[in-house]
Amino acid sequence: MKKKVFLLLILFLLTGCSCRYDVSINNDQTVNEEVIIYGTNRLYNTYYKTNKVDVLKENLENYIEDLEENNYEYYLKEDTEPYIVIKKKYSNMEDYLNNSHFFNDYFDEISYNKEGNIVKIETVGFNPNEEDNPDRFYVEDALINIKIDYEVGSANTEVIDDKTNTFTYSLLEDTNDFKILINYDLSTKFNPHKKNMIYIVIAILVIIITWITMFFVNRKKKI
């Protein structure tokens, strides 16, 4: 049953859609997972229907029973460029890692270590096109955003939104070597104003040092 649910999340990737996969690690340690699926011309051209909403609706209807049985929320946004949203909330990180189909199906192993307040997550063995699993489709195009409400010690991506503490990873059709490596501190919540405060303190110190320097220079000239 769970396998069918996951097939919906990646079926569109096989036939020409793009996917945005958002994960939020909240400051109460709960985890929100949201998948947003957009159609592309490659998908729509494979259907006899010309209405984009009808194409996505037909695909979604095949999985509604499974989504509801597994406590997923879902809806189809009927717009000029329609999209499907599927989401679920987990009680904690362990619950998410054990039950998230994305991680369980695409990585051989997930290393989760918690030492004191430090949480370390590392994925091992990325399998985008595993032939041993005929029921699973490969990832063609996905954007993964991981938002963390705690201070992050390190993450293996250079695409970071400092304002929201979001770490972004990109998956393309030819991605073969992919790993997520993140560690964060449960004792320190993310403060979006922290860097601004540091800059302000530095600016104040520069002004004070400049003023003191000018004071002594002028005093020496008078002497």
Would you say 67 and 86 are in contact if contact means Cβ atoms under 8 Å apart?
yes
In the chain, where the domains are located: 2-190, 193-223
What is residue 222's predicted lDDT score, i.e. its pLDDT? 57
What is residue 135's predicted lDDT score, i.e. its pLDDT? 44
Q: What is the mean pLDDT of each run of 10 residues along the chain (223 residues)?
A: 49 59 94 84 62 77 78 85 89 88 70 93 71 47 89 94 93 74 95 68 76 68 57
Q: In what order do the strands lie in the sheet with 166-172?
A: 73-77, 83-90, 31-38, 18-25, 141-148, 166-172, 160-161
What is residue 116's predicted lDDT score, i.e. its pLDDT? 94
Going by C-alpha positions, the residue among 180, 183, 146, 181 that lies closest to residue 165 is 146
What is residue 30's predicted lDDT score, i.e. its pLDDT? 97
What is residue 134's predicted lDDT score, i.e. its pLDDT? 45
What is residue 170's predicted lDDT score, i.e. its pLDDT? 85
Taking the C-alpha atoms of residue 80 and residue 102, their distance in angstroms, rounded to an integer, is: 28
Taking the C-alpha atoms of residue 120 and residue 122, their distance in angstroms, rounded to an integer, is: 7
